[in-house]
Amino acid sequence: MTPIKRFQVTVDCAEPARLARFWCEVLGYVLAPPEGFASWDAYRDTRPPGERDAWCACADPTGVGPRLRFRRVPEGKSVKNRLHLDVRVGTGLVGGERLATLEAECARLVPLGAVHVRTLYDGHDACIPMLDIEGNEFCLD
């Protein structure tokens, strides 16, 4: 039997710390400084000037969800993501209750900089595609 592996999701971006803070708000995660450092500031102070804000990470404080790592890259986003996160806020809900839960979460995220793309609802199931603060697609599900 193959052992279960832990994984992290890495996102290329322009502003790693800003994007990490956004996703902390979305998911209830906390900033996760590199091992051996008490904070991101302590880590940044050890890096050469050009590498100080090259990456940032956040993690589920319960240890259940995957770590998210944000890596600065010089090029901007140019096409649709081939992978996106589904933020599962409506699990087990159907119909109007599910839609209301997803809409409430959408209303919480828009002031943080998220963009509501559209609402998909067929009377039973619902999903809300959105964009994060750098234009990366994700869905409220």
Q: How confident is the model at residue 109 (pLDDT cuts 50, 70, 90)?
A: very high
Nearest-angstrom CA–CA distance, 119 and 102: 9
Q: How confident is the model at residue 81 (pLDDT cuts 50, 70, 90)?
A: confident
Q: How confident is the model at residue 129 (pLDDT cuts 50, 70, 90)?
A: very high
Model confidence over 53-75: pLDDT tens digits?
999 999 999 999 999 999 999 98
Q: What is the mean pLDDT of residues 104-121?
A: 98
Task: Centre a 10 Å sphere on the Cβ of residue 80 and count the other Cβ atoms it contains.
Answer: 8
Nearest-angstrom CA–CA distance, 4 and 113: 35
Q: What is the pLDDT of residue 64?
A: 94
Q: What is the pLDDT of residue 133?
A: 97
Q: What is the pLDDT of residue 50?
A: 86
Q: pTM of the full predicted structure?
A: 0.92
Q: What is the mean pLDDT of residues 19-38?
A: 96
Q: Residue 80 corresponds to which amino acid?
A: K
Which H or E run includes 69? Answer: strand 67-72
Instruction: Tell me what percent of the residues of the chain surpass a pLDDT of 70.
Output: 100
What integer best gives the mean pLDDT of the chain? Answer: 94
Is residue 106 over pLDDT 90? Answer: yes
Domains of the chain, start order: 8-72 (3.30.720), 85-140 (no CATH)
Q: What is the pLDDT of residue 52?
A: 87
More confident residue, 74 or 112: 112
**Contact at 8 Å (CB) between 139 and 86?**
yes
Q: Could you tell me which of 123, 115, 122 has the C-alpha nearest to residue 139?
A: 115
